Amino acid sequence: MRKRLYNILHHSNSNELPTTLYDGFMIIIIIISIIPLCFKELNNLLIMMKVITGVIFIIDYLLRWITADLAMPNHGYRSFIYYPLTPFALIDLLSLLAPLTLLIFMVTGSQALILFPSTFLLLRLFRLFQALRILKMLRYSKNFFTILEVLHREKQSLLSVCYIVVGYVIISALIMFSVEPHNFDSFFDAVYWAATVLTTVGYGDIHPLTNLGKLVSIVSSLLGIAVVALPAGIITAGYFEVLNEKKK
């Protein structure tokens, strides 16, 4: 029984009908659970949606937990301890905080307000964590795991690009901070300016005033386009390489 549950829950890349149906069902539930977050005030229908989807997520979390030893066979029984610490399990747990608090309040009623006067404050705080549910959809995306494989393969190249980006931002910030010290209250402001130039966003709240500063900004912008294009090219090439391997 647990083996069958494991195959349905953890094999999102499988083309088996039960797995496909379960993945489709959970995607629909995730979308429904996001709907109440789009409203400031909740009516009975929205509250019911929160409760039902919350219960389904709790059941899904528990089922995944009890099959953790099958998903992490190398850890044996320690997998039941390690599983709650995995990225997707943490996302699941954080997104469950609000439904759990709401269920406790509905069961205890007015007693919750007497014992825990900050209940409503907690509900609004945990509302932020519920937005993480959209990340749960990544679990059911085959392309997402393909991209993770690409990132793992190309991690050395991407790390090299990160070093280039950090170096570019610091050097540009130092140059601009030296050219126009009166235009920046601190070096952090210069770093902020360099980062916006690197991404070619250029908010305009901080901009060079002198001709020399504008020249530095032009050069930084042109170099920034090339730097930003590097990781995109690496990931794209790696993605097509992985796809070709899977087709073969």
- The whole-model pTM stands at 0.59
Mark whether 42 and 81 lie in a shared domain: yes
CA–CA separation, 129 and 126 (whole Å): 5
User: Would you say residue 147 lies in a domain?
Assistant: no
> Which residue range forms the structural domain that includes residue 239?
153-247
Tally of residues, the chain = 248
What is the pLDDT at residue 100?
Answer: 63
CA–CA separation, 176 and 161 (whole Å): 22
- Lookup: tokens for 144: 């997402």
What is the pLDDT at residue 191?
Answer: 87
User: Would you say residue 146 lies in a domain?
Assistant: no
User: Would you say residue 20 lies in a domain?
Assistant: yes
Mark whether 126 and 208 lie in a shared domain: no
CA–CA separation, 37 and 217 (whole Å): 41
Q: How many domains does the chain have?
A: 2
Mark whether 26 and 119 lie in a shared domain: yes
Mark whether 32 and 113 lie in a shared domain: yes
Mark whether 96 and 27 lie in a shared domain: yes
Q: Give the sign of the dihedral formed by CA 65, CA 66, CA 71, CA 72.
A: positive
CA–CA separation, 184 and 161 (whole Å): 27
CA–CA separation, 20 and 64 (whole Å): 16
SS3 content of the chain, % helix, strand, coil (to 5): 85, 0, 15
Question: What torsion do the CA atoms of 161, 166, 168, 171 make, to the nearest 10 degrees?
Answer: -150
CATH code of the domain covering residue 208: 1.10.287.70
CA–CA separation, 193 and 214 (whole Å): 12
Residue type, 151: L
CA–CA separation, 189 and 172 (whole Å): 12
Q: What are phi and psi of 235, to 5 degrees?
A: -65, -40
Q: What are phi and psi of 72, to 5 degrees?
A: -125, 65
Domain boundary among 75, 106, 140: 140
Mark whether 111 and 222 lie in a shared domain: no
Closest to 9 in 3D by CA, of 54, 66, 94: 66
User: Would you say residue 145 lies in a domain?
Assistant: no
Closest to 82 in 3D by CA, of 62, 67, 68, 61: 68
The pLDDT averaged over each successive group of 10 residues in the chain (248 residues) is 76 70 85 80 82 85 85 76 83 72 57 49 58 71 75 83 86 86 83 81 72 82 79 81 73
Mark whether 165 and 209 lie in a shared domain: yes
Domain boundary among 116, 140, 164: 140
Mark whether 76 and 189 lie in a shared domain: no
Rg of the chain taking only CA atoms, in angstroms = 25
Contacts of 179 (CB under 8 A, 6+ apart): 208, 210, 212, 213, 216
